[in-house]
């Protein structure tokens, strides 16, 4: 599994949005770009995908920008990476819908499918609220993995 720059930037940008957009305030791509040192054009692509996935909403004009659609404690890292277009599979055939005709008998498929499931489930337990509180990777639940 390899998380691309787009996935890492999506996570950084959404965390910056969480920090800067308290109480549902709109935050512009320009402010997020400046805060995270990510190009405005790249952030626009990322936020287009996040909006399409129903994670953020936008408003144009003065005071416009982006804000989250849902509370931060109901939004997880897996959703953000998925919306950014990340393939969260170690090998292509490890995805459940890969169409591999050997999936039922292949030891690699079983092993990496299991790893994919564990990673996916773990990423679903880390909410944006946890990351905002700097607790996402330090909690007792995640430390045991």
CATH number of the domain to which 125 belongs: 1.10.10.10
Mean of all residue pLDDT scores within the chain: 84
Provide CB contacts within 8 A for 57, sequence distance 6+.
Answer: 51, 66, 67, 68, 69
pLDDT, mean of residues 110-132: 88
pLDDT of residue 101: 74
Weakest-pLDDT range from 28-37, 77-86, 90-99, 113-122: 90-99
Look at the alpha carbons of 87, 137, 17, 24 in this order and tell me if their dihedral is positive or negative: positive
pTM: 0.81
Higher pLDDT, 103 or 34: 34
Largest CA-CA distance found in the chain, in angstroms, rounded: 58
pLDDT, mean of residues 81-100: 74
If DSSP codes are grouped into helix, strand and coil, which group holds residue 27?
Answer: strand
Residue 132: name the closest of 7, 4, 9, 12 by CA: 12
Task: Decide if 84 contacts 10 (C-beta within 8 A).
Answer: yes
pLDDT band at 144 (very low <50, low <70, confident <90, very high): very low
Look at the alpha carbons of 44, 81, 70, 55 in this order and tell me if their dihedral is positive or negative: positive
Weakest-pLDDT range from 8-12, 87-91, 133-137, 138-142: 138-142
The tally of domains found in the chain comes to: 1
Give the residue numbers spanning the domain of 68: 5-143
Tally of CA atoms within 13 A in the half-sphere of 54 that contains its CB: 3
């Amino acid at each position: 599994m390899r998380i691309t720059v787009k996935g890492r930037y999506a996570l950084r940008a959404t965390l910056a949005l969480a920090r800067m957009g308290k109480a549902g305030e709109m935050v512009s791509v320009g402010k997020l770009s400046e805060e995270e040192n990510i190009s405005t054009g790249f952030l626009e692509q990322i936020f287009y995908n996040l909006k399409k996935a129903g994670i953020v909403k936008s408003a144009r004009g003065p005071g416009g920008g982006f804000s989250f659609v849902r509370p931060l404690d109901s939004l997880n890292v897996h959703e953000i990476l998925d919306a950014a277009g990340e393939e969260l599979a170690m090998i292509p055939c490890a995805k459940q819908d890969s169409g591999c005709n050997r999936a039922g008998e292949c030891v690699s498929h079983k092993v990496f499918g299991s790893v994919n499931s564990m990673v996916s489930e773990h990423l679903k337990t880390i909410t944006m609220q946890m990351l905002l509180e700097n607790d996402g990777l330090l909690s007792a639940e995640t430390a045991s993995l």
